[in-house]
Amino acid sequence: MVKQMMHTYLLLFRQLLENSFFPGLQPAIAVGSAFEGWSPSEEDVTYCMLMPLVPPKGHTFHLELGAAGEMLSKNSQIRVELGCTCTEGPMEEMLCFLHHPEEELRENQAPSLLHTLCTGSYLDAQKTAHWFHQLVITSWVLLPWSSQYNLKMLPCGRSCKFHMTKGNQKVLSVEIIFGVQLGDSDIYLSSQTAEPGLIPSTMWPQSCVVAEAKFFREMAREVPYNSFHLKCLQICARILEGTAFSTYTFKMVVMHLLTTIPPSDWCREHFLLRLLDIMRYLRCCLQEKRLDHIFFGNEHVPEEIDLPPAFRTAEPPNLFQHLAQDPAAHAEAMREFHYLRER
């Protein structure tokens, strides 16, 4: 239902934006735990879609990837530049932003992206989310679901969130995040961030959410029918309450094990053994104060995952770097691990 709704929204938005210079919208991609099949809470599931953005006519996106050599940089930005359209042929009706007088542009053409969703020369994640937020509201009455459900928009930050309700009952929770593709890869500069209030709105961290969703789809083809690998991850995610461990930590551990333990060993009969493997792997990572990100320097990553060449040869980012730098945090993580093992 969520996928169909986003497809319908996309068709509507493309008609509404036809003569504008807002970003072009590509088909939304299902990402996150709900679509991957291991959402920790079956009672309160949020379905997340990533909406890829492309530059409008007469504009280009230049991806600035943060510090040289830094992988998964949080400081990446999307610089927007205007390009000359004077030579694009007689059928092209748009005025050139670079070579037509400003007065003529103001009177005869919609403003450029630089004057709508940018701060300075950089695409602004918050402005983009607010723009999309308004599109969802104004187009809702045109959707077939509007006759059966009510739309409740949630506060807008770097993503667009809403509930679909029926009477007083929530039926669906949806979050739309935005991204710009890094080349032809499954890596995006994304509006999503774990620290939405702590980074400038013009920063678009590099994100692997699309690659991770694709990884689980590929694993579904490899493991036997009724495999318990997702149930293992779901159980681990549920026992984290009250600890500093994140669901992403266990997700990364399970992804590593899925590439090293034969697919046939993720069946019901081996369920408890796989849970023990997950805890053992986590213990070793904690003792070494190192958990490698799976998509870097890892020959076991399925070839179907499209990664930038630099990812396959790079030194993996250490997701436990904070534990290596803070002895007190490491000691606390070890205590919490023993608590989780008992759970």
**What would the mean pLDDT of 141-147 be, rounded to a whole number?**
92
- What pLDDT, on a 0 to 100 scale, did the predictor assign at position 242? 82
Quick one: pLDDT at residue 197?
64
pLDDT tens digits along 149-205: 999 999 989 999 999 999 888 889 999 999 999 999 999 999 998 766 678 999 999
Q: Name the band, by pLDDT with cuts 50, 70 and 90, for residue 103.
A: confident
Whether residue 90 has pLDDT greater than 60: no
3-state secondary structure of 176: strand
* Beta strand residue intervals within 83-213, DSSP E: 118-119, 122-123, 150-153, 160-166, 169-181, 188-190, 206-207
Residue identified by tokens 């607010």 is 130
Q: What are phi and psi of 87, to 5 degrees?
A: -105, 20
Beta strands in 85-242 (DSSP E): 118-119, 122-123, 150-153, 160-166, 169-181, 188-190, 206-207
Residue 18 has pLDDT above 70, yes or no: yes
pLDDT score recorded for residue 160: 97
Token reading at 278: 């997950």
pLDDT at 88: 64
Mean pLDDT of 91-103: 75
Does the pLDDT value for residue 29 go beyond 50?
yes
Same fold for the domain at 1-208 and the one at 223-342?
Answer: no
Query: Which of 33-42, 82-91, 238-247, 260-269 shows the lowest mean pLDDT across its residues?
Result: 82-91
Question: Cα 117 to the chain's mean position, in Å?
Answer: 20
207 confidence band (pLDDT: 50, 70, 90): very high
pLDDT over 60 at 3, yes or no: yes
pLDDT over 70 for what percent of the chain?
97
Sign for the pseudo-dihedral over CA of 233, 238, 239, 242: positive
pLDDT on residue 91: 39
Query: Which one is predicted more confidently, 70 or 275?
Result: 275
Q: Which of 80, 178, 99, 167 is nearest to 132 (CA)?
A: 178
**Topology of domain 1-208, CATH:** Beta Polymerase; domain 2 (3.30.460)
Domain map (residue ranges) of the chain: 1-208, 223-342
Kindly indicate the confidence band of residue 123, based on its pLDDT and cuts at 50, 70 and 90. very high
- Mean pLDDT across the chain: 91
Question: What letter does residue 172 receive in the DSSP assignment?
Answer: E
Structure tokens at 201: 């709105």
pLDDT category at 281 given cuts 50, 70, 90 is: very high
Q: Which residue has the higher pLDDT, 194 or 296?
A: 296
Token couple for 314: 């790079």
Give the mean model confidence (pLDDT) for residues 117-124.
97
What are the φ/ψ torsions at residue 54 (nearest 5 degrees)?
-125, 155
Q: Does the pLDDT at position 230 exceed 80?
A: yes
Q: What percent of the chain has pLDDT over 90?
A: 71
Tell me the average pLDDT across 135-161: 94
Record the tokens describing residue 255, joined without a space: 């992804």
Mean pLDDT (whole number) for 246-254: 95
- Quick one: residue 37, left, alpha or beta (phi over 0 = left, psi -120 to 50 = alpha)? left
As a dihedral over the C-alpha atoms of residue 202, residue 54, residue 9, residue 307, rounded to 10 degrees, the angle is: -90
> Among the CATH numbers 2.40.50.140, 2.40.110.10, 3.10.450.50, 1.10.1410.40, which is that of 223-342?
1.10.1410.40
pLDDT mean over 82-100 = 74
Q: Please answer whether residues 66 and 75 qualify as being in contact, where contact means their C-beta atoms are separated by less than 8 angstroms.
A: yes
Q: Tell me the range of 14-23, 26-35, 40-49, 312-321 where mean pLDDT is highest.
A: 26-35
Say whether pLDDT at 4 is over 60.
Answer: yes
